[in-house]
Amino acid sequence: MIRTHEAGALRSSHAGTSVTLAGWVARRRDHGGVTFIDLRDASGIVQVVFRESADAHALRSEFCLRITGQVRRRPEGNENPELPTGEIEVVVDELEVLSASDPLPLPIDEHVEAGDDVRLRHRYLDLRRSGPARALRMRSRANHIARQVLHAREFVEIETPTLTRSTPEGARDFLVPVRLQPGTWYALPQSPQLFKQLLMVAGMERYYQIARCYRDEDFRADRQPEFTQLDIEMSFVDSEDVIALSEEIMAALWRELAGHEIGLPVPRLTWHEAMDRYGTDKPDLRYGVELTELTDYLRGTDFRVFSAAIMAGGYVGAVVMPGGASQTRKELDAWQDWAKARGARGLAYVVLDPDSGQARGPVAKNLSEPHLAGLADTVGAKPGDAVFFAASDDRRGAQELLGAARVEIADRCALVDTDAWAFCWIVDAPMFEPDDAGGWTPVHHPFTAPTDEWIDRFEQAPGAALAYAYDLVCNGNEIGGGSVRIHRADVQRRVFDLLGISPAEAAEKFGFLLEAFRYGPPPHGGIAFGWDRICALLAGADSIREVIAFPKTRGGLDPLTGAPTTITARQRTEAGVDAKPAPPTHPRSERAADGE
RNA sequence: GGUCCUGUGGAGCAGCAUGGAGUGCUCGCCGCCCUGUCAAGGCGGAGGUCGCGGGUUCAAAUCCCGUCAGGACCGCCA
Total Cβ atoms within 10 A of residue A90:
27
- Distance between the alpha carbon (CA) of A316 and the C1' atom of B37, Å: 68
* Amino acid whose CA is nearest the C1' of B28: A107
- Distance between the alpha carbon (CA) of A113 and the C1' atom of B18, Å: 33
pLDDT band at A438; cut points 50, 70, 90:
confident
pLDDT of residue A585: 57
Q: Which nucleotide is nearest to A106 (CA to C1')?
A: B11
* Amino acid whose CA is nearest the C1' of B4: A341
Residue A170 has pLDDT above 60, yes or no: yes
Q: Which alpha helices (DSSP H) does A440-529 contain, by range?
A: 489-499, 503-516
- Distance between the alpha carbon (CA) of A113 and the C1' atom of B25, Å: 17
Give the strand order in the sheet containing A348-352.
Answer: A292-293, A315-321, A386-392, A348-352, A359-360
Q: Which nucleotide is nearest to A78 (CA to C1')?
A: B36
Q: Which nucleotide is nearest to A34 (CA to C1')?
A: B35
Percent of chain A with pLDDT strictly greater than 70: 97
Angle at A65 between CA A64 and CA A70, to 5 degrees: 155
Its ipTM equals: 0.92
- Distance between the alpha carbon (CA) of A140 and the C1' atom of B46, Å: 44
Q: How far apart are the first and last CA of chain A?
A: 61
Residues contacting A407, CB < 8 A, separation 6+: A280, A284, A476
Averaged pLDDT, A196-205: 97
C-alpha A191, offset from chain centre: 14
Q: What is the DSSP string of A404-440?
A: HHHHHHHHHTT---TT---EEEEES-BSEEE-TTSSE
Q: Which nucleotide is nearest to A218 (CA to C1')?
A: B76
- Distance between the alpha carbon (CA) of A81 and the C1' atom of B7, Å: 41
Q: Which nucleotide is nearest to A32 (CA to C1')?
A: B34
Residue A339 to residues A189, A346, A409, Cα–Cα distance (Å): 36, 5, 13
Q: Cβ distance A384 to A323 under 8 Å?
A: yes
Residue A595 has pLDDT above 60, yes or no: no
Averaged pLDDT, A250-268: 97
Q: Which alpha helices (DSSP H) does A486-550 contain, by range?
A: 489-499, 503-516, 531-539
pLDDT of residue A371: 92
- Distance between the alpha carbon (CA) of A117 and the C1' atom of B50, Å: 19
pLDDT of residue A593: 32
Strand partners, A315: A392
Q: Which nucleotide is nearest to A433 (CA to C1')?
A: B78
- Distance between the alpha carbon (CA) of A227 and the C1' atom of B75, Å: 21
What gap in Å lies between CA A243 and CA A249, rounded to an integer? 10
Q: Which nucleotide is nearest to A47 (CA to C1')?
A: B38
Q: Cβ distance A399 to A279 under 8 Å?
A: yes
- Distance between the alpha carbon (CA) of A258 and the C1' atom of B67, Å: 45
Averaged pLDDT, A9-22: 97
Torsion of CA A293, A295, A296, A301, to 10 degrees: 130
Pairing label, strands A268-270, A423-427 = parallel
Residue A112 has pLDDT above 90, yes or no: no
What gap in Å lies between CA A100 and CA A522, rounded to an integer? 61
Q: Cβ distance A432 to A440 under 8 Å?
A: yes
Q: Which nucleotide is nearest to A117 (CA to C1')?
A: B70
Mean residue pLDDT of chain A comes to 92
- Distance between the alpha carbon (CA) of A121 and the C1' atom of B9, Å: 19
- Distance between the alpha carbon (CA) of A510 and the C1' atom of B57, Å: 67
pLDDT of residue A334: 82
Residue A510 has pLDDT above 60, yes or no: yes
Closest CA to A25 of A36, A11, A14, A40: A40
* Amino acid whose CA is nearest the C1' of B42: A31
Q: Strand B positions with any atom < 7 Å from protein CB?
A: 1-3, 10-13, 27-30, 33-41, 69-78
- Distance between the alpha carbon (CA) of A113 and the C1' atom of B44, Å: 29
Angle between helices A587-594 and A503-516 (to 10 degrees): 120
**pLDDT, tens digit, for every residue of A336-362?**
888 888 888 888 999 999 999 999 988
Q: Which nucleotide is nearest to A60 (CA to C1')?
A: B29
**pLDDT, tens digit, for every residue of A447-469?**
999 999 999 999 999 999 999 99
Residues contacting A128, CB < 8 A, separation 6+: A24, A40, A62, A108
C-alpha A95, offset from chain centre: 46
Q: Which residue type does A181 have? A: Q
